[in-house]
């Protein structure tokens, strides 16, 4: 191999403390080096031309440039050598500026060290192999998992940019938690009024394929090329035939056996039902757990009244495969239920607040339903136990959040705001009512947020008490809320008619399972992890999988929507090119010697190692070996270092290359 | 409890296994590995305090494991290797049938009145993964001298230069015959890096430097995997006390990670997993 | 920091540093851009990740005549590849114990986490190792067992 060495002076930057001509002269004597020169500015056009010319004239096979850090100009020089017909990966940089001339003052030492660094690079480059950039085609189609406000926003953004979207929602309707809310802070506009048009837009969008009552079962492939298997759960209603007239629901005799999930268990629903009137799609589902037909076959009222013959008791779950290039995970949250200690959890729970025991001790979402004009009380403030107007309500913040001992360490973030909103809504409707809020701190960071909380306190006379509540008990028909006012330093007891607990937002219970299915990391709480908390907040560490909304950490609506649009734009960036170009620094398996111990698979941070069967001539598998999925491999080389027989090697950093560098000492 | 010979016989007769890897007598007070293929072969089978070999080494041989379900006679210590091999995808549990026994320990060598060193402080005399139990025969043995602690104290008293000399001398006896590798159930690579020429990981001739590297790399590749069966040491014709360095790595795994190889097939392997709270105090 | 001209026979340690591309290599770049001076006896071998560092590289470095070896990468939790450094650390714990017992002075083998922003720390880590190696003197152990043989690669 004929190596050419090019030493840059970088003006005075290298030349001042390194005798560049001397380095070039010494490099010229290294074995394999046939050409060695120095020049004032190697990265300049004339400098690059010097390299290109030498490659042609001296028929060089490889190039070493002694210059600044490869992080500065490796690309420049690789491009230059490529221009002269050499594979760009046959160019190595010896960093004689940042790692030498700038940090050593003695010129002899600097010169000697530069010669050493050149020698390392020459020994390495002699073992470099030509590599080609990896090009992976991209399926320009996205899947959005979760049809809450985040998923809706992401779907619409991508679809409006002209790409197909598959939106998967596990519930019968999209809309998520936002559809349950009454008004939204800090503007107090009606939640459904702003959400419903978006839901309809999703439904009618020609580029969006909505798969409601469906769940992701399996994810294969990698960035640009995912194959997702979705389970479309049996609705027992043919969505092609159903017109959403609602006759079946009206006539269903099973009216009281199931609590309405949408109304947070405050009302009941029928066996055939839509979660709420504005549901999208407006196609009912049969709850086979309570439906009489499924129990004993005796009732088929819905079949009788359906003019379209849409009821289909024989319907089965369907597995549908979708090919997509990007996945946006927007599975949202649920509220931490405090009535009992969660299973497999170190969390102790808040039995002393009597949630689940006292009917009028409710959580934030239940309060939203009570406050909602479409809710069980049609917006009138009536407490669940006796349908009377509560005259005194206590709101308790940070239930389950910011409490390492009994709940979760993190701040649930939205509760300060929605509690202020709740208290305000209550005061707006029950003018003679009293509202108390127990809080730890008020965290109202956000546009018009602090002003909103001040309004609740100053204009609507909501009484804020700094302190925690130790106990709630019933006495003379009142709920006695015992707490401490830590500012006044006195214990307080409030005889409330109703108590609203701002319980912590937690990830959906299946979030860990989903994370494992997709192959994305999650934190100890089960929230999905972004790859970089500051600079890449909506990307998961798995290429092509993006995060939006409260599945990543507690988020309010504006933040969820921002994240969703950001995630959508990340997907669109991906769709902006036909191929994904990757540096070819990836691991490669030598199948002849791989013993199939799969230590590589255990250490791979990207699940890029797969199991490959090597069949014999008659097609029977004789042994298994590791196989690297180049689309997933990010080139860390941990597999290479772990492999005992060195059957997997990282291109660009092979053992032979590194040994050569070591031996050049 | 079933008698070993009858058990092996019926397993083979009923076709529950296609062969049983076990032991047969080999002169007085000595045994040899033996593979029973026909029901008649079962007559030769024994399990006693002279069954020193760790037969799990045969489980990684394709010609053996590929031909249908394999029965294997395994003492508790050998079962540890079987578990380790399951953890490393070498064998599938459903492909083997483990015949084990409450272990009495094995003699250090032919005719020896003391245990082998590996039996000292054994925690798996009662087998921890098996399908059939039989009885182990043989006479009671007594404790051997604890050579390891003695050697360790000696090494720890040395300065680093002396230690280096001690070990390079120890390994200078090595003739690179790789008997240690052959005997080890965990050394199953298709091609060992010792045999690799591009790049040359280990000098192939028996130089002191190459010997030292070979022995270091061998021990490192087994760290967190070696179960301490000492087959390498037994196989070494140069009588190098290989168990020292193996035991050092074994103890380190136990001290640092509370990890012992081959105890539980569900535990993630030591190398191949990590804990964010792993010891960090040696890192600047 | 040594700036005066060295006397002819003074021992100058050879130190090889195995560093990851994203943190320590970049940290060393930062030391450069910040013009923080340090002793020139170290040469960096750039790898994508500490996860790529096979402990055998360290043996090789000593075999080939290094007097000291530095291994350095991203802090726990900051790995560019999420977990490469965690896997590496586990190997180091095992490997270090072996080398120490077998006579490779821990003053000659240092491990560190140096982030891309820790240019100053990089120079301190390097100077510290070089000073310790300088004090310990040339690493002659391998030389002794090498001398009779011709190195065949």
Residue C3, phi then psi, degrees to nearest 5: -115, -25
* Residues of B whose CB is below 8 A from A622: 62, 66
Higher pLDDT, A357 or A552: A552
* pLDDT attached to residue C2: 46
Query: Of residues A208 and B200, which shows the higher confidence score?
Result: A208
pLDDT of residue C6: 52
**Which residues are CB-contacts of B234 (< 8 A; sequence separation ≥ 6)?**
B52, B183
* Residues forming a β-bridge with C43: C16
The C-alpha atoms of residue A276 and residue A263 are separated, in whole angstroms, by: 9
- CATH class in words for A587-664: alpha beta
Whether the CB of C44 is below 8 Å from some CB of chain A: the reply is yes
Q: Does A629 touch chain C (CB under 8 A)?
A: no
User: For chain A, what is the mean pLDDT?
Assistant: 93
Q: Identify which of B164, B252, B272 has the shortest CB distance to residue C97.
A: B252
pLDDT band at A407 (very low <50, low <70, confident <90, very high): confident
Domain boundaries along the sequence of chain A: 3-125, 141-224+322-332+508-575, 247-305, 334-506, 587-664
Cβ pair C37:A103 closer than 8 A: yes
B283's CB contacts (< 8 A; 6+ apart) are C89, C92, C111, C112, C113
Cβ pair A480, A443 in contact under 8 A:
no
Question: What pLDDT is attached to residue C7?
Answer: 55
How far is Cα B147 from Cα B32, in angstroms, rounded to an integer?
A: 26
Using CA atoms, how far apart are residues A364 and A415, in angstroms rounded to an integer? 9
Nearest neighbour of A602 by CB, restricted to B198, B201, B269: B269
Chains touching B by CB (3 or more pairs below 8 Å): A, C
Out of A592, A623, A645, the one facing B193 most closely (by C-beta) is: A645
CB B230 within 8 Å of CB B77? no
Per-residue model confidence as pLDDT tens digits over A99-121:
999 999 999 999 999 999 999 99
Nearest by CB to residue B88, choosing from A597, A622, A647, is: A597
- The continuous run of DSSP H or E covering C98 comes out as helix C84-101
pLDDT for C78:
82
Quote the pLDDT of residue A341.
63
Per-residue pLDDT reduced to its tens digit, C104-139:
988 999 999 999 889 999 999 999 999 999 999 999
Which of the residues A12, A97, A99, A522 would you substitute to probe the C interface, choosing the one with the greatest number of C C-beta atoms within 10 Å?
A99
CATH class, domain A334-506, is alpha beta
CB of A598 within 8 Å of any CB in chain B?
yes
pLDDT of residue A346: 60
User: In angstroms, rounded to a whole number, what is the distance separating the alpha carbons of residues A385 and A362?
Assistant: 11
**Pair of tokens at residue A179:** 């559809």
The pLDDT score that the predictor gives to residue A482 is 96
Matching fold, domains A3-125 and A334-506: no
CATH annotation of A3-125: 3.40.50
pLDDT band with cut points at 50, 70 and 90 for residue C153: very low
pLDDT of res. C152: 47
Chain A interface test: which of B95, B190, B276 (most A C-beta within 10 Å): B190
- Best of B247, B277, B284 to substitute, by most chain C Cβ atoms within 10 angstroms, is B284
Q: How far is CA A402 from CA A405, A440, A468, A506, A522, in A?
A: 9, 9, 12, 13, 19
Chain B nearest-CA residue for C98: B249
Q: Does A171 touch chain C (CB under 8 A)?
A: no
What would be the CATH architecture of the domain defined by A141-224+322-332+508-575? 3-Layer(bba) Sandwich (3.50)
Distance in angstroms (rounded) separating the CA atoms of residues B163 and B180: 23
Class of residue B159 by CB neighbours under 10 A (exposed 0-12, middle 13-18, buried 19+): exposed
Are residues A495 and A511 in contact, defined by beta-carbon separation less than 8 angstroms?
A: no
Q: What is the DSSP letter of A90?
A: G
Q: pLDDT by residue (tens digit) across A3-23?
A: 999 999 999 999 999 999 999
Q: Is the pLDDT of residue B38 over 90?
A: yes
Lowest mean pLDDT among A175-189, A376-390, A609-623: A609-623
- Per residue in A293-308, pLDDT tens? 999 999 999 999 999 9
Q: How far does the CA of residue C31 sit from the closest CA of chain A (Å)?
A: 7
C61: nearest Cα among C44, C39, C86: C44
């Amino acid at each position: 191999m004929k190596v050419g060495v090019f030493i840059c002076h970088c003006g005075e930057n290298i030349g001042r403390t390194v005798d560049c001509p001397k380095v070039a002269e010494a490099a010229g004597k290294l074995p394999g080096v046939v050409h060695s020169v120095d020049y004032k500015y190697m990265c300049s056009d004339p400098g690059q031309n010097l390299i290109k010319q030498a490659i042609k004239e001296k028929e060089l096979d490889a190039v070493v440039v002694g210059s600044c850090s490869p992080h500065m100009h490796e690309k420049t020089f690789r491009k230059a050598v490529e221009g002269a017909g050499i594979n760009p990966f046959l160019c190595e940089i010896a960093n004689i500026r940042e790692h030498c001339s700038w940090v050593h003052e003695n010129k002899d030492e600097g010169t000697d060290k530069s010669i050493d660094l050149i020698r390392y690079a020459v020994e390495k480059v002699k073992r470099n192999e030509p590599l080609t950039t990896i090009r992976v085609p991209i399926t320009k189609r996205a899947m959005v998992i979760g049809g809450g406000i985040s998923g809706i926003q992401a779907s619409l953004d991508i679809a409006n940019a002209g790409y197909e979207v598959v939106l998967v929602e596990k519930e019968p309707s999209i809309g998520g938690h936002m559809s349950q809310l009454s008004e939204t802070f800090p503007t107090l506009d009606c939640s459904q009024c702003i959400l419903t048009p978006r839901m309809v837009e999703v439904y009618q969008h020609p580029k969006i394929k909505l798969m409601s009552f469906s769940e992701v079962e399996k994810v294969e492939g990698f960035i640009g090329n995912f194959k997702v298997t979705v389970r479309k759960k049996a609705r027992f209603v043919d969505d092609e035939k159903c017109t959403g007239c609602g006759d079946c629901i009206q006539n269903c005799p099973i009216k009281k056996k199931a609590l309405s999930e949408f109304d947070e268990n405050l009302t009941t629903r029928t066996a055939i039902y839509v979660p709420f009137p504005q549901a999208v799609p407006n196609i009912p589902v049969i709850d086979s757990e309570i439906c009489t037909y499924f129990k004993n076959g005796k009732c088929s009222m819905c079949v009788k009244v359906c003019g379209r013959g849409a009821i289909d008791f024989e319907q089965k779950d369907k597995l549908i495969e979708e090919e997509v290039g990007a996945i946006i995970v927007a599975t949202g949250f649920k509220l931490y239920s405090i009535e009992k200690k969660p299973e497999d959890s170190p969390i102790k729970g808040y039995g002393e607040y009597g949630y689940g025991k006292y009917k009028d001790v409710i959580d934030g979402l239940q309060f939203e339903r009570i406050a909602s004009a479409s809710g069980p009380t049609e917006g009138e403030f009536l407490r669940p136990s006796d349908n009377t107007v509560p005259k005194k309500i206590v709101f308790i913040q940070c239930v389950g959040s910011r409490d390492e001992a009994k709940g979760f360490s993190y701040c649930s973030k939205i509760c300060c705001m929605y509690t202020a909103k709740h208290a305000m809504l209550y005061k707006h409707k029950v003018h003679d009512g009293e509202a108390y809020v127990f809080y730890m701190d008020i965290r109202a960071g956000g546009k018009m947020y602090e002003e909103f909380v001040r309004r609740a306190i100053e204009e609507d006379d909501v009484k804020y008490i700094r302190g925690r509540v130790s106990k709630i008990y019933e006495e003379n028909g009142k709920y006695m809320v015992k707490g401490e006012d830590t500012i006044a330093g006195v214990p307080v007891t409030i005889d409330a008619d109703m108590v609203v607990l701002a319980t912590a937002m937690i990830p959906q219970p299946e979030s860990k399972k989903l994370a494992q299915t997709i192959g994305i990391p999650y934190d100890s709480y089960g929230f999905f992890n972004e790859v970089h908390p500051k600079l890449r907040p909506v990307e998961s560490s798995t290429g092509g999988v993006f995060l939006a909304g409260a599945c990543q950490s507690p988020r309010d609506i504006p933040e969820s929507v921002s994240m969703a649009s950001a995630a959508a734009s990340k997907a669109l960036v991906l769709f902006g090119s036909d191929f994904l170009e990757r540096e070819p620094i990836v691991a490669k398996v030598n199948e002849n010697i791989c013993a199939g111990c799969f230590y590589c698979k255990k250490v791979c941070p990207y699940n890029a190692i797969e199991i490959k069967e090597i069949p014999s001539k008659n097609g029977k598998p004789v042994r298994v070996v590791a196989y690297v999925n180049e689309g997933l491999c990010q080139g860390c080389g941990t597999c290479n270092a772990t492999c005992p027989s060195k059957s997997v090697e990282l291109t660009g950093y092979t053992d032979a290359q590194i040994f050569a560098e070591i031996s050049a000492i | 409890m079933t008698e070993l010979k009858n058990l092996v016989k019926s397993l083979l007769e009923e076709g529950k296994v296609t062969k049983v890897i076990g032991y047969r007598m080999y002169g007085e007070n000595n045994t040899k590995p033996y593979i029973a293929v026909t029901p008649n072969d079962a007559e030769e089978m024994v399990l006693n305090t002279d069954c020193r070999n760790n037969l799990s080494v045969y489980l990684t041989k394709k010609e053996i494991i590929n031909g249908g379900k394999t029965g294997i006679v395994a003492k508790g210590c050998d079962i540890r290797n079987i578990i380790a091999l399951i953890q490393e995808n070498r064998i599938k549990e459903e492909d083997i049938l483990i015949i084990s026994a409450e272990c009495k320990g094995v003699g250090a060598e032919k005719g020896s009145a003391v245990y082998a060193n590996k039996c000292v402080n054994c925690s798996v005399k009662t087998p921890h993964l098996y399908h059939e139990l039989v009885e182990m025969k043989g006479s009671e043995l007594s404790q051997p001298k604890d050579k390891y602690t003695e050697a360790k104290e000696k090494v720890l008293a040395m300065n680093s230069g002396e230690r280096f000399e001690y070990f390079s001398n120890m390994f200078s006896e090595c003739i690179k015959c790789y008997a240690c590798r052959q005997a080890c159930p965990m050394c199953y690579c298709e091609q060992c890096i010792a045999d690799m020429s591009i790049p040359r990981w280990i000098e192939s001739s028996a130089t002191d430097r190459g010997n030292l590297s070979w022995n270091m790399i061998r021990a490192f590749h087994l760290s967190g995997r070696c179960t301490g069966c000492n087959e390498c040491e037994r196989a070494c014709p140069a009588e190098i006390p290989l168990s020292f360095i193996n035991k050092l790595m074994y103890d380190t795994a136990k001290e640092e990670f509370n990890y012992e190889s081959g105890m539980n097939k569900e535990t993630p392997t030591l190398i191949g997993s990590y804990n964010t709270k792993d010891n960090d105090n040696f890192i600047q | 920091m040594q700036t005066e001209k060295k006397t002819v026979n003074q021992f100058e340690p050879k130190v090889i540093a195995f560093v990851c591309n994203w943190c320590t290599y970049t940290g060393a770049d930062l030391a450069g851009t910040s013009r923080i001076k340090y002793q020139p006896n170290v040469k960096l071998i750039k790898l994508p990740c500490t996860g790529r560092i096979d402990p055998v590289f360290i043996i090789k470095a000593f075999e080939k005549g290094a007097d000291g070896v530095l291994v350095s990468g991203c802090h726990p939790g900051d790995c560019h590849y999420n977990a490469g450094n965690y896997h590496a650390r586990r190997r180091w714990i095992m490997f270090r114990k072996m080398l120490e017992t077998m006579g490779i002075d821990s003053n000659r083998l240092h491990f560190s986490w140096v982030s891309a922003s820790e240019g100053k720390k990089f120079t301190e880590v390097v100077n510290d190792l070089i000073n310790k190696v300088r004090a310990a003197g040339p690493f002659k152990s391998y030389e002794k067992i090498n001398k009779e043989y011709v190195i065949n690669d």
